């Protein structure tokens, strides 16, 4: 009588391909989760943002694994590596679809030469036909300031998505700056990212922040910022987001004066025709 041979164990499913795929997908997902302003918020902010992304992804994998175990509670538990791989692959597909637009309009972020030269200064208003914005005239004494304009152009030389126009009244000792920044799309995330960049650039010693307010609702938003410098000069800023058929941007008007109420009607009258 022959003795039965040993019963062979069922073949083990390989997990290392899923583990390798997970290691590749995790940093790719974190890359797609990077904030819209990139590193403009500072190295510490960007590092914290990316580490937070890793934590969120790992928590998501843990949640999916827990649900999978509940579903398969009467059979062998799922492999962690396989659950992590399929979860991160799904997230990667969703991130790529979101980033590439998936039907959403994506605009050019380069300010063209024609757009840079399109500002019109009339007796009763300042306007730009290409971008569709306008504001009341600050008065006949406000004229382009070549020296200040050259400084603005130089500071924005490495930012093809930005343009600024500078007017100055020697009579009123007041400066008016109009600044526009293009975006590929405009939503609350992009608008608040821009605002963080504005705040981070306002770090001169001795400056007192008097007003810092932000509002947002679909299709509209506003940012107001008032700084007082040790010299007694007030820098007042109002920014609004806009989406037109051919561009998305944030438009700001800044006034610098020893009078905190100077050109309030100009700032408040800033508008964009959609």
Structure confidence by residue, pLDDT tens digits, 109-154: 999 999 999 999 999 999 999 999 999 999 999 999 999 999 999 9
What is the domain count for the chain?
2
Q: What is the mean pLDDT of residues 62-77?
A: 72
Is the Cβ–Cβ distance between 201 and 186 less than 8 Å?
A: no
pTM for this prediction: 0.65
Q: Which of 84-98, 131-145, 173-187, 242-256 has the lowest mean pLDDT?
A: 84-98
Residues 77 and 141 in one domain: no
End residue of a domain, out of 37, 69, 99: 99
Domain of residue 75: give its range.
Answer: 16-99
* pLDDT tens, residue by residue, 235-247: 999 999 999 988 9
Residues 163 and 240 in one domain: yes
Q: What is the mean pLDDT of residues 55-83?
A: 75
Whether residue 220 lies inside any domain: the answer is yes
Is the Cβ–Cβ distance between 61 and 87 less than 8 Å?
A: yes
Residues 250 and 146 in one domain: yes
To the nearest whole number, what is the mean pLDDT of the chain? 84
Is the backbone of residue 257 left (phi > 0), alpha (psi -120 to 50) or beta? beta
pLDDT greater than 50 at residue 103:
no
Whether residue 121 lies inside any domain: the answer is yes
pLDDT at position 22: 78
- Please give the structure tokens belonging to residue 79: 């492999």
Residues 160 and 92 in one domain: no
Instruction: Give whole-number Cα distances, 128 to 29, 132, 133, 157, 221, in Å.
Output: 40, 6, 6, 21, 20
Residues 239 and 120 in one domain: yes
Whether residue 72 lies inside any domain: the answer is yes
Residues 130 and 220 in one domain: yes
pLDDT greater than 60 at residue 100:
no
Whether residue 185 lies inside any domain: the answer is yes
Whether residue 1 lies inside any domain: the answer is no
* Neighbour-count burial of 123, counting CB atoms closer than 10 A to its CB (0-12 exposed, 13-18 middle, 19+ buried): exposed
Residues 23 and 142 in one domain: no
Residues 147 and 256 in one domain: yes
Residues 81 and 149 in one domain: no
Q: What is the mean pLDDT of residues 216-240?
A: 93
Q: What is the spatial distance between Cα 158 and Cα 168, in angstroms, rounded to a whole number?
A: 24
Residues 32 and 168 in one domain: no
End residue of a domain, out of 99, 134, 152: 99
Residues 168 and 87 in one domain: no
Is the Cβ–Cβ distance between 214 and 192 less than 8 Å?
A: yes
Is the Cβ–Cβ distance between 190 and 203 less than 8 Å?
A: no
Residues 129 and 36 in one domain: no
Is the Cβ–Cβ distance between 166 and 145 less than 8 Å?
A: yes
Closest CA relative to residue 194, chosen from 165, 228, 159: 159
Whether residue 3 lies inside any domain: the answer is no
């Amino acid at each position: 009588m022959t003795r039965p041979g040993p019963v062979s164990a069922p073949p083990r499913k390989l997990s290392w391909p899923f583990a390798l795929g997970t290691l590749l997908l995790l940093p790719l997902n974190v890359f797609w989760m990077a904030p819209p302003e990139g590193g403009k918020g500072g190295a510490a902010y960007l590092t914290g943002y990316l580490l937070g992304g890793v934590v969120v992804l790992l928590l998501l994998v843990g949640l999916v694994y827990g649900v999978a175990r509940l579903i398969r509670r009467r059979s062998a538990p799922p492999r962690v590596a396989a659950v992590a791989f399929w979860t991160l692959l799904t997230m990667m597909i969703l991130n790529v679809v979101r980033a590439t637009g998936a039907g959403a309009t994506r605009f050019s972020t380069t300010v063209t030469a024609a757009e840079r030269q399109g500002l019109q200064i009339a007796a009763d208003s300042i306007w730009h036909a290409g971008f569709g914005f306008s504001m009341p005239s600050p008065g006949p004494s406000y004229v382009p300031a070549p020296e200040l304009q050259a400084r603005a152009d130089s500071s924005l030389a490495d930012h093809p998505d930005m343009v600024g126009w500078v007017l100055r009244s020697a009579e009123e000792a007041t400066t008016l700056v109009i600044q526009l920044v293009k975006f590929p799309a405009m939503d609350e995330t992009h608008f608040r990212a821009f605002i963080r960049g504005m705040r981070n650039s306002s770090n001169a010693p001795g400056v007192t922040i008097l007003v810092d307010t932000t509002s947002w609702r679909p299709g509209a938003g506003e940012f107001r910022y008032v700084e007082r410098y040790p010299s007694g000069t007030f820098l007042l800023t109002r920014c609004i987001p806009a989406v037109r058929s051919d561009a998305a941007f944030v438009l700001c008007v800044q006034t610098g004066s020893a009078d905190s109420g100077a050109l309030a009607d100009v700032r408040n009258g800033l508008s964009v025709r959609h």
